[in-house]
Chain A
Amino acid sequence: QKEVEQDPGPLSVPEGAIVSLNCTYSNSAFQYFMWYRQYSRKGPELLMYTYSSGNKEDGRFTAQVDKSSKYISLFIRDSQPSDSATYLCAKFSGGYNKLIFGAGTRLAVHP
């Protein structure tokens, strides 16, 4: 079983839709959970992170961790075409030097 599982999509939504991106994980140690956004042929950029359980909101983005079900979610409200990218969830494994990434979900927001 992979430490982080993520549906690769693709996911296509109309502009203005609420997007839900999800991951599951299998190891509860090192409780930072990260969401990265990667545009085509670019390096990933950190979008948000959460520590332990609960919600964190930043503008149109909300990150959520449910430790009881080992579920990580990222919600995008009022999605825009500029949100079209691949979204990767990640968590640490064996220390804060090793990031394990999910497969990434490709999102397309069409006008």
Chain B
Amino acid sequence: GAVVSQHPSWVICKSGTSVKIECRSLDFQATTMFWYRQFPKQSLMLMATSNEGSKATYEQGVEKDKFLINHASLTLSTLTVTSAHPEDSSFYICSAKGHLSSYEQYFGPGTRLTVT
């Protein structure tokens, strides 16, 4: 149980375009979802936290107009990178937790974004 999927697993886009990444909880209802970013050989950095039906809470330094997060249902959250630039190239990972867990997050497999 507690499986989280992401789609796509990798994406290449041109500079200036937007790209959407989906995160789904497959076998539980995710009341809270999280989006992380990981640069090569670096650790995960939390970008934002979203609760179903509410606006996302962004971490300091993360541009909310550039990284649009939508958590419209208890099983789906999306991250849209708008007007992507090469410096946005990174590994984006989502995680989710259900209402039964106060602390345990389940991570997706990640999405590798390359902006050319």
Contacts and interface: CB of A to CB of B under 8 A. Distances in A.
Given A101-B44, A103-B42, A103-B43, A42 B49 contact: no
Interface residues of A, number: 23
B103 A96 contact: yes
B104 interface: yes
Interface string A84-97: 00001000100011
Nearest to A42: B109
Contacts of A106: 41
Interface residues of B, number: 24
Contact of B102 (A44, A88, A96, A99): A96
A-B CB proximity, top 4 nearest: A43-B107, A101-B43, A96-B103, A43-B109
Interface of A: 6, 8, 32, 36, 41-46, 49, 88, 92, 96-104, 106
Given A43-B110, A88-B43, A99 B49 contact: no
A96 B44 CA distance: 16
Given A45-B107, A99-B34, A101-B43, 5 more contacts: A49-B104, A96-B102, A101-B45, A103-B42, A104-B42
Interface in B59-85: none
Nearest to A89: B43
Contacts of B45: 101
Listed residue (A99, A100, A106) with the most chain B CB atoms within 10 angstroms of its CB: A99
